[in-house]
Amino acid sequence: MYPFPSRHLYILPFGICVKRNFYSVRRKMLRAFCIANKRGEILFISIFEPLVTKAIFDPFLSELSSSPHGDPPPFFSKEDHKYVYVFRDDLYWACVVSQNSLTDECGPLLMTESLSQLHQVCSTLCGALTQHSITANATLIMEIVQETMNGGFVQMQTADKLQSCIYSTVVAPKETSALTAVPGLCSALQNCNSDGKYWLYVDVVEKVWASVSSSGTVIRAEVTGSIVTRCFLPGNPVLSLMLNTQLSTTPKEGFNTGTRMSEVEFGNGVEIGSGNNGRQLSVMTVPGQEITIARYTLAPDHPHLLPFTLTSSIHSLTPSDSELRLKLTSNTGMGTVSPQVTFKTVAPVTTAAVMSQTSGPRDQVIRFSSEDKTLTWTISQFPGGSYAQAFIRLVDSGGDVNIEAGELEFEVSRWVCSGVRIERVKLNPPVDNLNKWVRYLTTSDSVSIRLS
């Protein structure tokens, strides 16, 4: 099946009509597509040309890290490659455009709009998009990409049309919280279940970027959050939320223990109530669609409470071996849970093997890669208010060694760094047989912790 009908008139994804010879557009629009995080790690990749490899995105990732004024423009050329990308959910959705193709001639607007639509489809079918959900649902996203980019040719991209073509199921985080008591943050499209009940989800999702000293002091931190709702209700009732704090960048006089914001952006159609100190937000719902009520960034002077504190020590066992001791403490309190926490660091280059012992939560695994000397400590089902310890013997590392830093990755349910809470959820007009779910999720974007 050809990606375009055998006529002279072609309708592109957002309604642009192009009239030209059919055989002149048979060249692939795209060469490759990827999803990458801020650290320059590719989480998902799809190649549309047989001779293209993952290395085609190296110039793109290099430009992201070396750009002196933040991110580069959404369309740029480097090393004979043309890149187009959008930044959504703290992830880069990027593609390489083929030279002299229809996409190239139409300009970057075609692909920026197409990538935005692709992100919307993935968000609708997978729910909240994090690094963990992207890697866990790689098969599902591959099906979406195959349907929407069809071997390098851009197709129409709407979730309701694609759902019948998707065979994979969503992989949700394995936890015992409210996130999996219902379809979870990864929710498929539905109107109501078999017993006639309707669903309303309100999610507060925050992402953490932080740099922490060896003493546990937060050197620098940035927390961005969003309040998102998705409903499967009859009609278009108005949703009203009552928050425990006002989302505002205006500093308050006197002693203030509330949440302090540096940036706040409200979604389209959101109304801020005049009473209750501006804590009430209202918006008209749309069945089956995700609506962003607000996005915010915590102020730099806000006292950042990170969900975990890591302490470490290393000392000599023998002239050839050392022992690394790690203690990870949860600061999120009882009733919260982390489906998976991972700490990664690099052992000394001479390390030949490791021997380990752990205490605390039952599901703990320590892995060592002899190729790149990567040491990975993974804790599953980490309950809030508890701690875990790891004692790792580094064989042949040397008796007097030093490990500088590591990266902490996590997801925490029922807890957010800012302390933003939703006190009341109300629909007007009311809906009978309604199941309301208010969920909180905190994920790591990049948390670097120094060990020495």
β-strand partners of 350 = none
Give the separation between CA 64 and CA 55, rounded to whole angstroms: 15
What percentage of residues in the chain have a pLDDT greater than 70?
83
Is the pLDDT assigned to residue 118 strictly greater than 60? yes
Task: Give the long-range contacts of residues 107-114, CB within 8 A, separation 24 or more.
Answer: 108/74, 108/75, 108/84, 110/12, 110/13, 110/14, 110/16, 110/154, 111/30, 111/75, 111/84, 111/154, 112/74, 112/75, 112/84, 112/86, 113/13, 113/14, 114/13, 114/14, 114/148, 114/154, 114/157
The pLDDT value recorded for residue 355 is 95
User: How would residue 437 be classed by pLDDT, with cut points 50, 70 and 90?
Assistant: confident
Q: How far does the chain reach from its first CA to its final CA, in angstroms?
A: 59
User: How would residue 172 be classed by pLDDT, with cut points 50, 70 and 90?
Assistant: low
b/e map of 33-60 (b: 16 or more CB within 10 Å)? bbbbbbeeebbbbbbbeeeeeeebbebb
State the average pLDDT over residues 57-78: 84
The arrangement of strands across the sheet holding 271-272 comes to: 271-272, 280-284, 238-243, 422-428
Lowest mean pLDDT among 17-31, 271-285, 331-345, 414-428: 17-31
Supply 351's token pair: 């390390």
Is the pLDDT assigned to residue 185 strictly greater than 80? no
Token pair 């914001």 is found at 261
- Per CATH, the homologous superfamily of domain 308-413 is Mu homology domain, subdomain B (2.60.40.1170)
State the average pLDDT over residues 23-28: 49
Contacts of 254 (CB under 8 A, 6+ apart): none
Enumerate the CATH 3.30.450.60 domain ranges in the chain, comma separated.
9-165
The pLDDT value recorded for residue 175 is 38
Lowest mean pLDDT among 97-111, 307-321, 416-430: 97-111
Which CATH architecture best describes the domain 9-165?
2-Layer Sandwich (3.30)
User: How would residue 125 be classed by pLDDT, with cut points 50, 70 and 90?
Assistant: confident
Give the separation between CA 135 and CA 171, rounded to whole angstroms: 10
Instruction: Determine how β-strand 337-346 pairs with β-strand 353-359.
Output: unpaired
Q: How many CB atoms lie within 10 A of CB 313?
A: 12
User: How would residue 221 be classed by pLDDT, with cut points 50, 70 and 90?
Assistant: confident
Is the pLDDT assigned to residue 27 strictly greater than 70? no
Supply 205's token pair: 């999702």
Whether this prediction's pTM lies above 0.85 is answered by no
The pLDDT value recorded for residue 406 is 93
Model confidence pLDDT, tens digit, residues 91-108: 899 999 988 776 667 777
User: How would residue 253 be classed by pLDDT, with cut points 50, 70 and 90?
Assistant: low
Phi, psi dihedral angles at 119 (to 5 degrees) = -60, -40
Give the separation between CA 299 and CA 17, rounded to whole angstroms: 46
Specify whether the CB–CB gap between 344 and 403 falls below 8 A.
no
User: How would residue 271 be classed by pLDDT, with cut points 50, 70 and 90?
Assistant: very high
Supply 304's token pair: 């950042």
Q: How many CB atoms lie within 10 A of CB 170?
A: 18
Instruction: Determine how β-strand 271-272 pairs with β-strand 9-11.
Output: unpaired
Which CATH architecture best describes the domain 178-304+415-450?
Sandwich (2.60)
Mean model confidence pLDDT for the chain:
81
Helix (H) or strand (E) holding 63: helix 58-66
The pLDDT value recorded for residue 345 is 94
The pLDDT value recorded for residue 304 is 64
Is the pLDDT assigned to residue 117 strictly greater than 70? yes
Specify whether the CB–CB gap between 411 and 441 falls below 8 A.
yes
State the average pLDDT over residues 54-72: 83
Enumerate the CATH 2.60.40.1170 domain ranges in the chain, comma separated.
178-304+415-450, 308-413
Specify whether the CB–CB gap between 114 and 103 falls below 8 A.
no
Helix (H) or strand (E) holding 339: strand 337-346
Is the pLDDT assigned to residue 444 strictly greater than 80? yes
Lowest mean pLDDT among 19-33, 99-113, 194-208, 225-239: 19-33
Lowest mean pLDDT among 39-53, 99-113, 225-239: 99-113
Give the separation between CA 1 and CA 290, rounded to whole angstroms: 33
Instruction: Determine how β-strand 261-266 pairs with β-strand 81-88.
Output: unpaired
Residue with more model confidence, 8 or 49:
49
Specify whether the CB–CB gap between 267 and 292 falls below 8 A.
yes
